[in-house]
Amino acid sequence: MTAICDIYDLQELARKRVPRMFYQYADSGSWTQSTYRANEEDFQKIKLRQRVAVDITDRSLDTEIIGQQAKMPIALAPVGLTGMQHPDGEIKAARAAEQAGVPYTLSTMSICSIEEVAKHTSKPFWFQLYVMRDRDFIRRLIDRAKDAGCSALMLTLDLQILGQRHNDVRNGLSAPPKFTINAMMQVLSKPRWCLSMLSTRNHTFGNIVGHAKGVGDLSSLSSWTAEQFDPRLDWKDIDWIREHWGGPLIIKGILDVEDAKMAAKVGADAIVVSNHGGRQLDGADSSINALPAIVDAVGKDIEIHFDGGIRSGQDVLKALCIGAKTAYLGRAYVYGLGAGGQAGVTKALDIIRSELDTTMALCGERLVGNLGRHNLLHPPA
């Protein structure tokens, strides 16, 4: 096998190994995918300042994220259906994150349940919450995250309704795959994946099936979202969620300055600047374009995290320079998982760490905390 040099090598391997409906579930944006593409493309427009003859010994990526120690300014983003990229994918990703000393965020729409992940890990992870119409279920879900020792709740606000991803419709996405010719062809063309999936019983949405009333089949994500997700969710709901949870709260899905101000006002501990990986509002700005104005507006009041389009340590560094405290890997680690399970996620984290460290050195910096807009050639005004 040729050497794996970057995240795109892992992506190519994942594309070969994972059935099309699950690979493309991750590798898709909504409708024309313009925002999905812009998330990556807009990083390329930002230029770094090269500095030389600076002592770059004793570098460190150590940081704190919402007051929690981390070995680098990276967190693993919540990703639905992770356990379909690789058996027990959520457990494998959480373990890789634990070893790398960075937070892992478990999605509400995960395959392995909160309890399963807690059972197979030894450090607290974060839990991402979608608010559904059945508030009793949501209260119980928050309680389950507390009982599992989760150390932050991440509330996602940008998916009360689902942006259409054409590939999911064409591929007949469902977990587990349905017995249709289309689905069976996709699955059987990846025999290694099929065999490996026999090693686990986690094949459907573990946080939901058997816990939410009347939900036995989540086959179509869009119809299920339309039935279950609460379209009435508004800023007032944050209060009861925060009170019921009682721990660190991160609000995800902020792309607008006014919304960032609201999130700071409702007492969140951090916001994630995100357009859901270009999977929701097609035509929205890229996350990296939206970041500077949000940092300028609320950066003194609230910790700012960044999500969207990160495929390299250079991307991470650019987001940090603009003012983010940490950057999330979503697809970047999911490709690693599909390519090689836990070792693949570790590889993705190693690649990003090494790129970030070397790039920081070439910018003439030794500590991530010292990065700033002075490291950019044309800093945002």
As annotated, the active-site residues are 276
Phi-psi map region of 88: left, alpha, beta (phi>0 left; psi -120 to 50 alpha): left
Chosen residue from 276, 318, 325, 353 binding ligand GLV by CB under 6 A? 276
| Sheet (strand 326-329) strand order | 74-76, 326-329, 303-307, 270-273, 249-254, 152-156, 126-129, 105-106
Question: Which residue's CB comes closest to ligand GLV?
Answer: 80
Q: Give the residue with the Cβ less far from ligand GLV, 80 or 336.
A: 80
Residue from the set 80, 206, 278, 341 that interacts with ligand GLV by CB under 6 A: 80
Exactly one of 20, 92, 279, 325 binds ligand GLV (CB under 6 A); that residue is 279
Nearest approach, Cβ of 225 to ligand GLV (angstroms)? 8
**Residues in contact with ligand GLV, shown as a per-residue x/- string from 91 to 130 under the rule CB under 6 A:** ------------------x---------------------
Cα(365)–Cα(318) distance, integer angstroms? 13
Phi/psi at 69 (nearest 5 deg)?
A: -65, 140
Q: β-strand 326-329 against 303-307: which pairing, if any?
A: parallel
75-112 per-residue burial string, b: 16 or more CB within 10 A, e: under 16? bbbbbbbbbbbbbbbbbbbbbbbbebebbbbbbbbbbb
| Residues from 324 through 343 that contact ligand GLV (CB under 6 A) | none
Residue 230 φ/ψ region, left for φ over 0, alpha for ψ in the -120 to 50 degree band, beta for the rest = beta
- Alpha helices by DSSP H, the chain: 7-17, 20-26, 34-44, 89-100, 114-119, 135-147, 166-171, 181-188, 191-197, 221-228, 235-245, 257-265, 287-298, 313-322, 331-362
β-strand 68-70 against 63-65: which pairing, if any? Answer: antiparallel
Least distance from ligand GLV to the Cβ atom of residue 381, Å: 33
- Measured from the CB of residue 252, what is the shortest distance to ligand GLV in angstroms? 10
Minimum CB separation of residue 276 from ligand GLV in Å reads: 6
Residue 61 or 75: which CB sits closer to ligand GLV?
Answer: 75
Of the pair 46, 77, the CB lying nearest ligand GLV is at: 77
Nearer to ligand GLV, 22 or 43 (CB): 22
- Pick the closer one to ligand GLV by CB: 161 or 194: 161
Examine residue 252 and tell whether it contacts ligand GLV (CB under 6 A).
Answer: no
Q: How many of the chain's residues bind ligand GLV (CB under 6 A)? A: 5
We find the least distance from the C-beta atom of residue 221 to ligand GLV, in angstroms, to be 6
Residues at the interface with ligand GLV (CB under 6 A) = 80, 109, 159, 276, 279
